[in-house]
Amino acid sequence: MSPVLFETRGKVAIITLYRPERRNAINAEAGHALAEAIARLEADDALQIGILRGEGAVFCAGMDLAAFSEGKVEELLFSEGGFGGLTESHRTKPIIAACHGAALAGGFELALGCDMIVAEEGCRFGLPEVLRGLVAGAGGALRLASLIPPARAREILLTGRLFDTAEAWELGLIARRAEAGQATEAALALAEEIARNAPLALRETLRLSREIERRAVDPLWSENARTLKAIMESADAAEGAKAFLEKRAPEWSAK
């Protein structure tokens, strides 16, 4: 079965990350499949909006660590459109992330790359890359710092701590909250409300509403890529991944 499923409900596309046994972690195959699903949404004139959701216990646990051993990291992160064809894409149709369980590391970056987040109560969010010798280079560091007060963003990014739906709501990161088990239904209700509106007006309103973030973030993607590549080649990044797999504390060398 494909690692990404695509279905439609009227004018709404529902895109499902379908690797529940791997907590929907994104490997090369899933990354390509997600990019294709987003392109399909964009190309279909009958569709007005998309929902990105995860199957199983969580929304998405991030990039699959197997991508490191398979030499697929650059392919995943630096392909057209960024991670999953989403984080750096210039879309004309909105996408809502329906988050439950956890949206961590690259999973949270996918959610931040969407236009709105609907989250169940108790969902955990975070960018714990620094705990593994990495940076949140699929838009996490750039976007979080542009969306919430800088001091709060740095505290989250530099500690790598997790936070829940209530704090995400307080920070203004999520558009709507849902009861447990209702993230997809709440996202669908929001999507259908939006899809009733005029297509041209939706597209142009979306474009204008993105301008502040786009002007803040887009000029920094090349610097982001340089930093990410340098960090991924570091000894600390290798040690972070090794320590995680061996279930031990990392021993950093600052190299």
Mean pLDDT taken over the chain: 94
In the chain, what are the domain boundaries?
4-196
Paired residues of 6 in beta bridges? 15
pLDDT per residue over 133-148, tens digit each?
Answer: 999 999 999 999 999 9
Q: Catalytic residue among 29, 42, 55, 109, which?
A: 109
4-196: CATH topology: 2-enoyl-CoA Hydratase; Chain A, domain 1 (3.90.226)
pLDDT per residue over 80-94, tens digit each?
Answer: 888 999 999 999 999
| The predicted structure's pLDDT at residue 95 | 99
Query: How far is 73 from 139, CA to CA, in rounded Å?
Result: 15
Q: Is 75 part of the annotated catalytic residue set?
A: no
| The predicted structure's pLDDT at residue 81 | 86
Q: Catalytic residue among 129, 170, 211, 233, which?
A: 129
pLDDT per residue over 95-108, tens digit each?
Answer: 999 999 999 999 99
82/74: higher pLDDT:
82
**Which tokens hold the place of 132?**
């593994």
Q: Is 193 part of the annotated catalytic residue set?
A: no
Determine the average pLDDT of the residues in 117-126.
Answer: 98
pLDDT per residue over 205-240, tens digit each?
Answer: 999 999 988 888 888 888 999 998 999 889 998 898
| The predicted structure's pLDDT at residue 70 | 67
| The predicted structure's pLDDT at residue 80 | 84
Query: How far is 47 from 92, CA to CA, in rounded Å?
Result: 11
